[in-house]
Amino acid sequence: MKFDRFFELAKKAGIEEAEFTFSSTSSLSFSLFHGEIDSYSNNKSYSFYARGIYKGKMGSIASDVYNNKMAEYFVEQIIANASVVENDDPVFIFKGSKKYRKINTFNRQLGNIPVEKKIEIAKQIEKELKNADPRIVEVATVAYDETSNSTTIINTHGLKLSQKSNFFAYYGSAVAKEKEQTKTGFELYFGNDFEKFVPTDLVKAIAKETVSQLGGFPCESSTYKAVLAPSVVSSLMSAYISSAIAEDVQKNSSLFIGKLGQKVASKKVTVEDLPINKTVFAKSFDDEGVATSNRAIIKNGVLQTYLYNLTTAAKDGVESTGNGVTSGSKVYTAPTYLKMKPGKKSQEELFKEIGNGVYITDVSGLHAGLNSRTGNFSLQSTGFLIKDGKIDHPLDIITVSGNLVKLFNSVSYVGNDSKEFMSGTNCPSVIVSKLVVSGK
Amino acid sequence: MLSKKLAIEVLNKMLETGADYSEIFFEDSIGTGITIENGKVSTSSTGITSGVGLRILKENRCVYGYTSDLTKKGLMSLADSLNKSFNGERILTVDHLDLIKAPNRNPIKKSYKTLTQEEKIALIREGTNAIEELKDPRIVRYIGSFGSNYRFVAVYNSKGKWFKKETEFARLAYSVVVADETGMETGFEGPGCQDDISYFRNKVKPRESALKAVDTALLMLSAKECPSGKMPVVIGNGWGGVLFHEACGHPLEASAVSRGLSCFAGKEGEMIASPIVTAVDDSTIPNAWGSIDIDDEGNLGTKRVLIKDGKLVNFMIDDFNGRRMGKEGNGSCRRQNYKYCPTSRMSNTYIDNGKSNPEDIIKATKLGLYAVSFNGGSVDPTTGEFNFGCSEAYIIRDGKIAEPVKGATLIGKGEDILKKIDMVGNDLALAQGMCGAASGSIRTNVGQPTIRVSEILVGGRGGELK
């Protein structure tokens, strides 16, 4: 696509610097119910995002459609939006980083695999799942998603950057019944190398997730030693690391104000942002066109850096960390791929280590039950009681509550069972010394 | 919008391989948003959502695709790729399209498109100025925002019907962060409507909304941690209804019911709630946030009584999921935009008024929790298990509202809670929310009068309730 007309009109209208981001997304998805495809979808869409600096302020417009006739409207909207801005935050159309790391995580093969084969695998998963355990009474869904995206940024400083990514996911959910109790389980596999996917492993994981919670009952309300499963660590860690976003620190609404170089977690905790590692989340530049780089955010419990975009970096007199994410006329900040460094102990060894306590396998309701500005949380959970170092019984209808600062400072062991999640995280299990559990 | 001629061509292309229904959803929407942070306009933006979604049905199978390439070539090639999912002979041909006339219960006197940026900014400022005037050093950050949307959709289907619909809606929102030496808390208020800007002048006052957000945050700053355990819970009117929305509304959607994946599937005609509970989904309330005149399948919006005096009588049904249930759609088919395949969704969903005075409900409670408002929550429709985080809550002692508490989470199962409702107030109110599910994020009203549940498990960090 060419955007010359836009840049020409923008210049004439007095927009000092301008930028166009063009992205195209194709996706394929389908789901099965009772052996048949009950939904199938095949899509192609575009996104056109233009922004510009007018009289020192940033204005923008985003659209699903664009043609030369719309160039004038785009320019008008940028000016109209920039004209009302009052705050004095420095704004940037970026000139470019010195060096961009080449990242090659786009897998050409994925799109070439015939849809029929992808459907066949889903059918196999559904069939195996239905027979995986006599208590499984229904396979709610087995589904496939595949997305490929390409993004190009062009601006008036001559910067032109492109990157491509793709991934696929198989997921399924089943329903199990025993006596009066109904439980559902969900598991997902994602990646972009089709060869690596083992359908039977996904079946086992969904079945385990579905039936393992049957026969559960609440434990006594009390404070327990706890092993938190990787998915739980992922949810809580993402919320905790959001405190490292510089804008919130600058605006006095973060847990990490004044904490740079200080202890914010136990020395067992090291968390890194790894945008250039070979994952499906990898990117060589952020939404502002700044080159990304790997860095430790928390090292042995000590906060190493805040996360910056160009605006917040300029305010603190540092360089952007390449974590800019545009939305509307605003540039937000977010980590790309968060990895907590694993430890040495296996899950069994972690259970032995706590002796008696709880193993929390899932927390839900994070948007309502967790306040990342205060760190307080109170969440619906599932898990198991641990007795004499072994799993005793499933826990039904319990909540866990605490505070993220205290929780991450009380991590005494980190496991070696790291798992990668769709939210762009990679976490192991951990032991925390105190967790308030409400049950009976 | 598509010409009728092109629409018929695309509909027929979709039917080529034996489908029994085809549908075109065209959308051209524009949204604008302005944010004022700590007293200064910080951002203003414009977004255009424009594209077409094609849906083909054959028996219980659904094929969906979307594109923002609106040329004839783009549409025909999408239709052609989608119809490959079926491999039968054509059974249906569309030769005409008749206009469905829908009522207009949500008229807008003055379009948001005619408002200037300055008018919108002035509206937000009524609230942000009020916060500034407080000069309270505990307020560390406050944000006011106003978003307005114009949405145009046109739907054409193989039943030979088409319609077009313009909708406008807007939301004013205030969020604040307060802090002192004990910690940090947040507050939020976000009234919205499918009405013009006069709503924000006459029905809700920006100033009151903004100050309410501050009050809630400050109250929570001084609040103690909520005790945990099973206890009677009085749930406030308005936003309190989000509990019913999540725990009972979602399981009553045909998307879950038709596949037997709802805890209420197969229970029509049974007592699923206490006899004092009547619950309704009504998409016909004039100018209400969740109202729709016509749904995405061309069925008119209706008022559906879901639970009548405790008995399950109806569901939210769309035509496609209705096929598995042997029922027709009842105007519940919705989606966020053309990128989502539509399905059965709620509109304005509420527990209807009962007989008790709200004061009497508090008076009748010796020791328990008064949950006034929630941050939100979620549910597993198959098991009915839900969770909710309270944004404002108090302990009730000897029939009186006592100390505020923070960090309360309510968890349980929808089926159990419905049966344990033992008092229903007469102060029904609705509150505006965005509901996220398979077909995206859509506008819905939640609502209820003050109600009491005899026992809910409350999670919190404050130890045992004494």
Q: Is the model's pLDDT at A180 over the cut of 90?
A: no
Rounded to 5 degrees, what are φ and ψ at A417?
-100, 45
pLDDT digit string, tens, across residues B227-259: 988 999 999 999 999 989 988 999 999 999 998
* Average pLDDT estimate for B413-442: 94
* Average pLDDT estimate for B28-48: 96
CB A155 within 8 A of CB A94: yes
Q: What percent of chain B has pLDDT over 70?
A: 100
Question: Which has more pLDDT, B436 or A316?
Answer: A316
Q: Which of A233, A300, A312, A309 is nearest to A262 (CA)?
A: A300
Chain B touched by A1 (CB under 8 Å): no
* Average pLDDT estimate for B42-69: 94
Residue type, A359: Y
For residue A182, list chain B residues with Cβ-Cβ distance below 8 A.
263, 382-383
Question: Three-state DSSP class for A134?
Answer: coil
* Average pLDDT estimate for A247-271: 96
- Label the pairing between strands B451-459 and B229-235: antiparallel
Which residues in chain A (259-288) have CB-CB distances under 8 A to chain B? none
CB nearest B229 (choices: A86, A330, A438): A438
Could B389 and A369 be called an inter-chain contact, meaning their C-beta atoms sit closer than 8 Å? yes
End-to-end CA distance of chain B: 64
pLDDT digit string, tens, across residues A111-142: 999 999 999 999 999 999 999 999 999 999 99
Chain B touched by A369 (CB under 8 Å): yes
Which residues in chain A (295-334) have CB-CB distances under 8 A to chain B? 328-330
- C-alpha–C-alpha distance, residues B167 and B293, integer Å: 10
Q: Taking the CB of residue B119, how many other CB atoms lie within 10 A of it?
A: 13
pLDDT at A1: 65
Could A368 and B46 be called an inter-chain contact, meaning their C-beta atoms sit closer than 8 Å? no
For residue B409, list chain A residues with Cβ-Cβ distance below 8 A.
365, 368-369, 378-380, 399, 401
Domains of chain B: 112-154+166-223 (3.30.2290.10), 229-459 (no CATH)
User: Closest approach of chain A CAs to the CA of B363, in angstroms?
Assistant: 27
CB nearest B45 (choices: A252, A328, A402): A328
Our CA angle for A47, A48, A54, nearest 5°, is 150
- C-alpha–C-alpha distance, residues A344 and A423, integer Å: 24
Stretch (H or E) spanning A249: helix A246-250
CB nearest B45 (choices: A87, A251, A329): A329
Task: Quote the mean pLDDT of chain B.
Answer: 94
DSSP per-residue letters across A351-362: HHHH-SEEEEEE
3-state helix, strand, coil in chain A (%, to 5): 25, 40, 35
CB B339 within 8 A of CB A43: yes
With 0-12 / 13-18 / 19 or more C-beta atoms within 10 angstroms meaning exposed / middle / buried, residue A305 is middle
How far does Cα B27 stand from its chain's mean position? 20
For residue A218, list chain B residues with Cβ-Cβ distance below 8 A.
457
For residue B383, list chain A residues with Cβ-Cβ distance below 8 A.
182-184
Q: Taking the CB of residue B19, how many other CB atoms lie within 10 A of it?
A: 26
CB A45 within 8 A of CB B68: yes
pLDDT digit string, tens, across residues B344-400: 999 999 999 999 999 999 999 999 999 998 887 778 878 888 888 898 999 999 999
pLDDT at A378: 86
CB A72 within 8 A of CB A12: no
Could A42 and B82 be called an inter-chain contact, meaning their C-beta atoms sit closer than 8 Å? yes
* Average pLDDT estimate for A244-258: 94
Which residue does chain A place closest to B182, by CA atoms? A374
- Label the pairing between strands A57-63 and B40-58: parallel
* Average pLDDT estimate for A272-282: 95
User: Closest approach of chain A CAs to the CA of B355, in angstroms?
Assistant: 31
Could B183 and A374 be called an inter-chain contact, meaning their C-beta atoms sit closer than 8 Å? yes
pLDDT digit string, tens, across residues B75-120: 999 999 999 888 899 999 999 999 999 999 999 999 999 999 999 9
Work out how many CB contacts closer than 8 A connect A with B. 234
* Average pLDDT estimate for B296-317: 96
Superfamily of domain A4-210 in CATH is: PmbA/TldD superfamily (3.30.2290.10)
pLDDT digit string, tens, across residues A283-335: 999 999 999 999 999 999 999 999 999 999 999 999 999 999 998 888 999 99
User: Closest approach of chain A CAs to the CA of B110, in angstroms?
Assistant: 21
Chain B touched by A82 (CB under 8 Å): yes
- Label the pairing between strands B440-448 and B429-437: antiparallel
DSSP type of residue B88:
S
Q: What percent of chain A has pLDDT over 70?
A: 100
Position A351 confidence tier, pLDDT thresholds 50, 70, 90: very high
Position A208 confidence tier, pLDDT thresholds 50, 70, 90: very high
Could A251 and B226 be called an inter-chain contact, meaning their C-beta atoms sit closer than 8 Å? no
Tell me the domain boundaries of chain A: 4-210, 214-233+342-438, 237-340
Q: Is the model's pLDDT at B281 over the cut of 90?
A: yes
Q: Is the model's pLDDT at B29 over the cut of 80?
A: yes
Which residue does chain B place closest to A382, by CA atoms? B385
Q: Is the model's pLDDT at B164 over the cut of 90?
A: yes
pLDDT at B40: 96
Q: What percent of chain B has pLDDT over 90?
A: 85
Stretch (H or E) spanning B203: none
Rounded to 5 degrees, what are φ and ψ at B378?
-150, 165
How far does Cα B23 stand from its chain's mean position? 25
pLDDT at A328: 83
Rounded to 5 degrees, what are φ and ψ at A154?
-130, 135
pLDDT digit string, tens, across residues A78-106: 999 999 999 999 999 999 999 999 888 89
Q: Is the model's pLDDT at B183 over the cut of 90?
A: no
Chain B touched by A220 (CB under 8 Å): no
Compute CA distances A219 → A156, A185, B193, whole Å.
62, 21, 45
User: Closest approach of chain B CAs to the CA of A42, in angstroms?
Assistant: 5
Rounded to 5 degrees, what are φ and ψ at B120?
-65, -40
pLDDT digit string, tens, across residues B310-332: 999 999 999 999 999 999 999 99
CB B171 within 8 A of CB B191: yes
- C-alpha–C-alpha distance, residues B346 and B329, integer Å: 13
pLDDT digit string, tens, across residues A401-416: 899 999 999 999 999 9
* Positive or negative: CA dihedral A309, A313, A314, A318: negative
